């Protein structure tokens, strides 16, 4: 389903979510393997834009490669990178930060010059943490009650995996906010900051760029907040609302490639 104002023939840039669009867990989804070759042949610039804060861009490159999706590390833009950029504008190098999260988030903050795990943290940064303990939650809560500001890489309530849906970073964030009464500054989708970092990375203008995602509440809203067209991949959490309607709905990436080629007069 498409709206009249989405011009696939003149699309110049695509920002693609990963979980639920390119893969589910470790299973590539239809159209993923030919993604890079297809978009290069069509002259469309692209980047992957993920709220998932567990891996570094290089780790995502390796993960995608194992699925037969061959990309460059700098084609992956993560919420930890956008979070680090936000904090660099707010605090000087060496500022102590307490992290509830995994390697991808810690690494991005260290590269940006922050003291991850240092004493008297000024910020508590929350991302997805599949090794979360009650003690870590308690430490984060105490730091906030001592005055640390709360930052979240994203507020996704759940993430798609092979067997269904697992709790996301938003579930962890909810625990911290409930325990402290604090409200986080959220960096990832649906806020526009992450999408804007990715847009700058590929050097495309919003008017001719679309955000592709499987979640209306994050991907579609995030793309719209940054002024992009939006494309929704159908799935178990792809529920359209009247308030947030995508410009195009596709079954999967394979369907999207077919529609773009058709719009441009390519043989199918």
Give the active site residues.
17, 19
Which alpha helices (H) appear in 67-203, and where do they start and end? 79-90, 103-111, 134-145, 169-180, 193-202
Cα separation of 145 and 152, whole Å?
Answer: 16
Rounded CA gap, 184 and 86, in Å? 13
φ and ψ at residue 181, rounded to 5 degrees: 80, 0
Phi then psi dihedrals of residue 4, to 5 deg? -65, -25
Which whole-number Å values give the CA distances from 129 to 11, 39, 82, 172, 247, in the listed order? 36, 33, 18, 8, 33
Give 116's contacts (C-beta < 8 A, 6+ positions apart).
97, 99, 106, 109, 110
Question: End-to-end alpha-carbon separation of the chain, Å?
Answer: 19
Cis check: omega of the bond before 167, within 30 degrees of 0: no
- Answer for the pair 191, 222: CB distance below 8 angstroms, yes or no: yes
């Amino acid at each position: 389903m498409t709206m009249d104002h989405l011009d696939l023939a003149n699309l110049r840039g695509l920002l693609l979510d990963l979980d639920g669009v390119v893969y589910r867990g470790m299973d590539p989804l239809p159209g993923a393997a030919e993604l890079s070759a297809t978009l290069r042949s069509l002259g469309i610039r692209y980047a992957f834009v993920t709220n998932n804060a567990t891996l570094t861009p290089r780790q995502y490159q390796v993960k995608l490669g194992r699925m037969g999706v061959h990309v460059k590390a700098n084609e992956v833009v993560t919420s930890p990178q956008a979070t680090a950029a936000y904090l660099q504008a707010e605090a000087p190098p060496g500022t102590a930060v307490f992290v509830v999260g995994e390697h991808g988030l810690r690494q991005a903050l260290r590269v940006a010059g922050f003291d991850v795990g240092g004493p008297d943290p000024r910020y508590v940064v929350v991302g997805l943490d599949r090794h979360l303990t009650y003690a870590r939650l308690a430490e984060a809560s105490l730091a906030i009650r001592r005055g640390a500001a709360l930052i979240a890489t994203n507020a996704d309530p759940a993430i798609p995996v092979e067997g269904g849906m697992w709790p996301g970073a938003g579930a962890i964030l909810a625990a911290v906010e409930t325990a402290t009464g604090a409200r986080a500054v959220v960096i990832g989708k649906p806020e526009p900051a992450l999408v804007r970092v990715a847009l700058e990375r590929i050097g495309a203008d919003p008017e001719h760029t679309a955000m592709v995602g499987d979640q209306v509440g994050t991907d579609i809203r995030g793309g719209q907040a940054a002024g992009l067209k939006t494309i929704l991949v159908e799935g178990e959490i792809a529920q359209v609302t009247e308030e947030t309607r995508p410009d195009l709905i596709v079954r999967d990436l394979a369907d999207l490639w077919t529609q773009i080629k058709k719009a441009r007069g390519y043989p199918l």
